[in-house]
Structure 1
Amino acid sequence: MAFLLLLFLSAFTPSATATIFADYYRNSCPAFSQIIRDTVTNKQITTPTTAAATLRLFFHDCLPNGCDASILISSTPFNSAERDADINLSLPGDAFDVVVRAKTALELSCPNTVSCADILATATRDLLTMVGGPYYTVFLGRKDAKISRAAAIEGTLPRPSMSVSEIIGMFGSKGFSVQEMVALSGAHSIGFSHCKEFTSGIFNYTKSPPYDSHYNPRFALGLQRACADYQKNPTLSVFNDIMTPNKFDNMYFKNLQKGLGVLKSDGGFYSDSRTRPWVEKYAADERAFFDAFSRAMVKLGGYGVKLGNQGEIRRRCDAFN
C-alpha cells in the first residue's frame, strides 16, 4: 500500500527530478528523428538559407531565458511576444517555417507528444550537419514555455555594437566560459549580417583611417560598396564568412586573423587578449573548434529548459494551448 501511495503521489508532484535524455521519444514517437530529418532536408534543399536561419533562431530562443520555444509565440492584442522584440525583428522566416512543418508532420504521427522546443533543438543540429557542421547529441524532453514577453528580452542577447567585455559578461551570467562563448561565436561561419548592424564602423567613422581599425583596408572598402544604399534598402546584407559562406567550418576564425570579420564584435574577439588565444586555436585546428562547439551547443541546449509541469506540449508552435 505504501508503494502504491508513493506512485500515486509522484504522478501529481511537480517533476523536480525530471530530466532530458537522448532517446526520450523512443516509445512515444518512434518516427521523431526521421520526420525531423526529412523535413529539414526538404527545406534546406529548396531554401539554402534555412540552416543559418534556424541556428540563429535557436540562439535567440535559448540565451534569454532557456530553450523553451518562447521565441516561436506570435503576439496578440493582449501580449507583445519575444519575436516582436526589437532585436528579434530580423529573424528570418525560414527558421519559423521549418519548425512549423516539422510540428505539423509530428502531430499527424504522434499527436500531443513532441514539444516545439525539442523540434527546434533537433532541427538545428540536423541542419548544421547538412552544411558540414559537427554531429552532437541532442537531449530531449523539454516542455514549451507558457510565457513569452518582448519586454523581457532587452539586455539578454548580444548586439553587434557591444564590447568584448560586455559579451563576456552576458555569457558569463548564464554560466558560459570565455572559451565556450568564442566557440559559439563560430556560428557566424554561416549566415549573413544586415549592413545597418555594422555601418558605424565603415561610414562616417571619426578616426583615421575612416573605418574601424580591425577591418582589412580592402575589406572595409568592399563593405562600403556593398552597403552603399543601406539607408534606402535596410535589407542589404553581407555574408558573415565571405570565403565559405554556405559551409560550416573554421574559416570564420581564419578570417578574423586577416581582418575579415564583419561585425565589431568579430574584430574584438581577435584583438582582445582574453579571446584571441581561442580564435587562434580554432583557426589552426578545425577539429578542436568542432569539439568545443559541440560541447557548448549541448550545454546551451540544456540551459533553462522547462520540465514537467513547468511547461506544456503546444498543439501549435506559435500559440499557447
Structure 2
Amino acid sequence: MSTKKPNCMSIILVLVLVLCQCIRLKAQLQVGFYAASCSMAEFIVKDEVRKGVSSDKGMAAGLLRMHFHDCFVRGCDGSVLIDSTPSNTAEKDSPANNPSLRGYEIIDNAKARLEASCKGVVSCADILAFAARDSVEMTGGLGYDVPGGRRDGRISLASDIQANLPAPTLNVNQLTQMFANKGFTQEEMVTLSGGHTIGRSHCTSFSARLYSFNTTVSQDPSLDPTYATQLKQQCPQGSTNPNLVVPMDTLSPSTTDVGYYRDILANKGLFGSDQTLMTNTATANQVNQNVRNPMLWSRNFADAMVKMGRIGVLTGNNGEIRAKCRVINS
C-alpha cells in the first residue's frame, strides 16, 4: 500500500480551485436570493407596485421601460435611478429618458420600506427587476422568477444613452445589431419589442413620420393612412407641448398581450422601429407567429426578460447597496 503524501503544491491547487468555485457561486444571481436575509423583499416590492398601478395603470409600462433602459446602459445596476448633480447629467435626464420614464417614486417607496425592514440588504437594481416583473404580471402577462443578487452601480451618465438605447427611428438591421451587442438574437429582439404593447409615447418620438418623413414624402407610406390622420389630430404639427401622448397599442394599451403585433400587421406600428419588423422575412414571420400563438409569445417574453436582467450585472463585492436609490452612498 502506498503511503505517499500529497505535495504542498497539490493541496494549494485544490484550495485555490475550491475558493474560486465559492467566489463564482457567490457572484451568481439566484432565485430566492433574499430568502434568508430579507424574506419579505419581493412581497414589499410587489405591494408598492400594486399600489402604484392601482392609482395609475400607466405606471406598469413606466417600470417595465425603466428596467429595460437601465439594463441596456451599463448593465442592470440601477444607474437609471440616480439623480443628476450640478456636475453631472445622469441617465434619467437624457432626452431618451426624460420625460418618458416614470415610476421612480414607486421604487423610492419600496426602497424606504426595505431599508426599514432589512437595512443595507436589497439593491435598487433588484427592486427595479422585481418591479418590472410585477408590472408585466399585473397587466396580464406571465409571471416569472427573477433571480436576485444584483448590486448597484455608482456611475450614471446621460452621455452613455445614445450608443446603447435603440432609437424609435432604427430599421430592422440596426435593431438586430444593437440587440446583438447586448447578447440577444434577432428573435429575442422581436420578442422584447413586444414590451411596447403597454404604455404610451410622446408625440415627439414619432411626429417625423407624420410631417417630415423624408425629402420626397412628408408622411411615412408604411403608416396606415387612417391611423396617420388620427395621430395628426392627437399630435398637431409644430406642437411643443411635452404632455401630448398617445397609446403604443391602439386597442389594449394597458394589457400585456400581442396587440402590439396585431397593430404592426395592420400598419399601425407607432414607431418606425416597430413597423420595420415587417420589412424582413424572418421578423415578419415572427410577428405573424406571435399573433397566432399569444401564449408562446408570453413565455418567450418572460424568458427574454430574465435574460435581459442578467446584462452586465454587478455581484459579489462589486458595486454597492445604495441606501437611497437616487444617490450613491457617500
Q: TM-score, normalised by structure 2?
A: 0.90
Aligned to 1:176: 184
User: Does 2:98 match 1:89?
Assistant: yes
Give 2:325's aligned amino acid.
C
Q: TM-score, normalised by structure 1?
A: 0.92
User: Does 2:255 match 1:247?
Assistant: yes
Aligned to 1:19: 28
How far off its partner does 1:155 sit?
A: 1.2
CA offsets per residue over residues 274-301 of structure 1, 9 Å max, x none? Answer: 3111111101110111111111101000
User: Does 2:74 match 1:49?
Assistant: no
What are structure 1's unaligned runs of at least 5 residues? none
SS at match of 1:309: coil
Tell me if structure 1 keeps the 8 A contact 2:172–2:279.
no
Aligned to 2:126: 118
1:156-305 to 2 correspondences below 5 Å: 156-205=164-213, 210-228=218-236, 231-305=239-313
SS at match of 2:73: helix
Supply the distance in 2 between the matched residues of 1:207 and 1:151 (Cα, whole angstroms). Answer: 30
Supply the distance in 1 between the matched residues of 2:30 and 2:226 (Cα, whole angstroms). Answer: 49
Supply the distance in 1 between the matched residues of 2:303 and 2:321 (Cα, whole angstroms). Answer: 27
Give structure 1 regions of 4+ aligned residues with deviation exceeding 3 angstroms: 13-17, 204-210
Supply the distance in 2 between the matched residues of 1:88 and 1:15 (Cα, whole angstroms). Answer: 36
Aligned with residue 79 of structure 2, among 52, 70, 74: 70
Using the TM superposition, name which of 181-190 and 301-310 deviates more.
301-310
How far off its partner does 1:209 sit?
A: 6.8
SS at match of 1:40: helix
Supply the distance in 2 between the matched residues of 1:251 and 1:230 (Cα, whole angstroms). Answer: 30
Give 1:169's aligned amino acid.
Q
CA offsets per residue over residues 238-289 of structure 1, 9 Å max, x none? Answer: 1000111111101110111011111111111122223111111101110111
Aligned to 2:324: 316
What are structure 2's unaligned runs of at least 5 residues? 1-10
Give 1:182's aligned amino acid.
V
Supply the distance in 2 between the matched residues of 1:87 and 1:105 (Cα, whole angstroms). Answer: 30
Tell me if structure 2 keeps the 8 A contact 1:182–1:275.
yes
SS at match of 2:270: coil
CA offsets per residue over residues 73-114 of structure 1, 9 Å max, x none? Answer: 111123222212232222333x21111010001111111100
Aligned to 2:49: 40
SS at match of 1:310: coil
| Identity score, percent | 37
CA offsets per residue over residues 158-191 of structure 1, 9 Å max, x none? Answer: 1111121111110011110011000000001000
Tell me if structure 2 keeps the 8 A contact 1:54–1:124.
yes
Supply the distance in 2 between the matched residues of 1:145 and 1:271 (Cα, whole angstroms). Answer: 38
CA offsets per residue over residues 182-220 of structure 1, 9 Å max, x none? Answer: 000000100011111111111144577752122111111
SS at match of 1:238: strand
Tell me if structure 1 keeps the 8 A contact 2:100–2:201.
no
Using the TM superposition, name which of 24-33 and 147-156 deviates more.
147-156
Tell me if structure 2 keeps the 8 A contact 1:68–1:145.
yes
Supply the distance in 2 between the matched residues of 1:225 and 1:98 (Cα, whole angstroms). Answer: 33
Supply the distance in 2 between the matched residues of 1:59 and 1:112 (Cα, whole angstroms). Answer: 24
How far off its partner does 1:15 sit?
A: 4.4
Supply the distance in 2 between the matched residues of 1:230 and 1:108 (Cα, whole angstroms). Answer: 48
CA offsets per residue over residues 146-166 of structure 1, 9 Å max, x none? Answer: 222222222100111112111
Supply the distance in 2 between the matched residues of 1:289 and 1:144 (Cα, whole angstroms). Answer: 31
Using the TM superposition, name which of 116-125 and 230-239 deviates more.
230-239
Tell me if structure 2 keeps the 8 A contact 1:40–1:123.
yes
Tell me if structure 1 keeps the 8 A contact 2:89–2:157.
yes
Tell me if structure 2 keeps the 8 A contact 1:57–1:91.
no
Aligned with residue 152 of structure 1, among 151, 154, 160: 160
Change over 3 Å in CA distance of 1:27–1:169 after alignment to 2: same
Supply the distance in 2 between the matched residues of 1:266 and 1:289 (Cα, whole angstroms). Answer: 16
